[in-house]
Every structure is written in structure tokens, then in C-alpha cells.
Amino acid sequence: MKPEFVIDATNFMDIVKNLSFESIDIYLEDKNIKVIAGKSEFLLPTMDPEEFPEIVPNKVEEGIITFERQKLLSMIERVIFCALRDSENVSRNLNGIYWDFREGGYLTLVAADGYRLALSELSMDIINTPPSFLLSLKSMEELLNVLRSSKTENVELFFDGARVLFFLDDDNIEIILNVVDATFPDYVRIIPQAFKTKVITSTDLFLKVLKRVSIAAKNDQVKMEIKDSIMELTAKSPEVGLAVEELEIEKEGEDIIIAYSPKYLREAIDHIGTSEVEFNITSESSQTMIKPVGDDSYMYIVMPVRLK
């Protein structure tokens, strides 16, 4: 179905928002739309409806996947902050979220920026597993905004190979997003399998200590010295000086001294959501895996920084 006429949505919304009249009249005059309200008159150029893309995918009942809105929202929020911001970079494939469907009813959302990666998983009843796809950060942010302001219980997803349709049941809203034609890196390869040191501590306490010690880090590193039952966090900078604080932990494996970007640690902790957090450290120079204790649906992988 082709539209009658096509106008710029942002400009049109801007106009309608600022009109304080009871009713507005809209006329199509040649290639312009005339909007009249009170003594206000707007003449808006239209675009060629023939060039308006055919965007509605042909839904096939068996291909529809149903999500609880709240669950989908939280899955996206737990990974989106890791996506690479820069879209003009060579790593265009990182400027988005990868929707990885796997046989058996598994969906994993993945976002990464080259220094860290976040992954949230969901197990569902799926009749036909669709192919995996990549959606741009921009379109994911728009979807997120709609999901946040909606009150619908369920969201349906349908993928026709090029476009993804999200349907918000109760709101009767359809959102159609083009997938990005780029290959997302093989993230499974990045998930470490063996660990040298495993640490469990209180998420809340760790966050408080991290916040305080980070003050002295400025934009530099926070050092974690891990011994039996104690973790010492340290940071220093010429401007602020030195900050040191201890924290009780449970530890398995070797003692280690390791450093991270305070921002990258902080953002991981912000998305843990359980009372205890687990650090799985492979070495001072390879990936650390951070996850909520008792929740296997979330994982955050971060590169340590070189100790100063």
C-alpha cells in the first residue's frame, strides 16, 4: 500500500504541538500540504509517495515470537550501554545490538565496543527459529523509548530477512526496523572458559567502595588487589592524590593484582541486579567475566588495563 502523501514527521509534529487551536485543517495543494489553524498558516513540502519504501513485511503466523515487554526492555537495557557509539567507524558492525537466535528457543542479545561486551539471554517457546540479525544502535534506542513509554504487556517480533517488525499488542503500534547489513563478530569465541581467580562479593558494597575510590582515579585506572577474603581497591592521580579501601570477599583460585577502567567496572555493576556479584578473572591481561550470582542470563566481559 502506497501512502497518499509523505511529509517530514519531526517538522509536522513540531507544528501541531505549538498550535493552540481547537481544530486544524489540512489540504493537499499540488505538492504541498497546507495547514490552517486560527490565523496560522503553514505550507509544507511533501515528498514523492512513489519513493516511499514498501516497509510492511509479510507476516507469517508461525514466524511470530512473543515477548513480555518488561523482560524485553530489561534485556535491551542490560546490553545497550556497551554498544559502540561511533557509527562512522570501520567497526560499523559494533554500532548496534546483535539478536542471536539459536535452536531450542534461545535468544541472546549482544553488544560490544572492542573493550567490553555485554550479553543477556532468554529462553522462549519458538516454533520456527528465525535467523540472527543486527539492529543499529539508533534504531535500538528508538525501540527502547517506545518500549519504556508503552504499557502493553506483550511485544510480538517478526523478521522477514531484511526488516524486523515489533508489534505492541495493546497500543496497536508497529515498529519496523531495517537490519544492518554487517557481520557481528563471533562473540562466543570471546567468552573465557577457564579462570585463574574467582571472587564473590556484595554488589551494593562493592559499588559504594568503587564510587569512593574512583574519585582518586579521575579517568585513570582502579587497582584491585585480591587476597584471601580481602580485596583492596586503590586509585591515584596527581590532582586528587590516593584512595585506598578494603572490602570483604569470597575467593577461589590464585591471589592477583589487576586494574580496570573505573567507568567500565561501574557500568557492569549497575546492571548486575542481584545482591552478589561474581568476578571471573583469567589473567592481568585477558578478559574478565563479571556476572550476577544466581542469574545465568547475564554476562559482562571486560579487558583489564595495564597496571601502573
Interface residues with its own copies (CB under 8 A)? 8, 11, 14-15, 18-20, 32, 39-45, 208-209, 211-213, 215-216, 238-247
Q: Least distance in Å: CB of 23 to its own copies?
A: 16
Q: Least distance in Å: CB of 26 to its own copies?
A: 13
Helix (H) or strand (E) holding 199: strand 197-202
Residue 211, SS3 per DSSP: helix
If the CB atoms of residues 42 and 187 are measured against its own copies, the closer one turns out to be 42
- As to burial, measured by CB atoms within 10 angstroms (0-12 exposed, 13-18 middle, 19+ buried), residue 160 is middle
If the CB atoms of residues 7 and 122 are measured against its own copies, the closer one turns out to be 7
Q: Least distance in Å: CB of 207 to its own copies?
A: 11
Q: At what angle do helices 137-149 and 69-80 cross, to 10 degrees?
A: 140
Q: Least distance in Å: CB of 234 to its own copies?
A: 10
If the CB atoms of residues 18 and 172 are measured against its own copies, the closer one turns out to be 18
Q: Is 243 left (phi over 0), alpha (psi -120 to 50) or beta?
A: beta
Q: Least distance in Å: CB of 184 to its own copies?
A: 35
Distance (Å, whole) CA 117 – CA 114: 8
Gyration radius of the chain over CA positions? 24
If the CB atoms of residues 40 and 285 are measured against its own copies, the closer one turns out to be 40
If the CB atoms of residues 208 and 227 are measured against its own copies, the closer one turns out to be 208
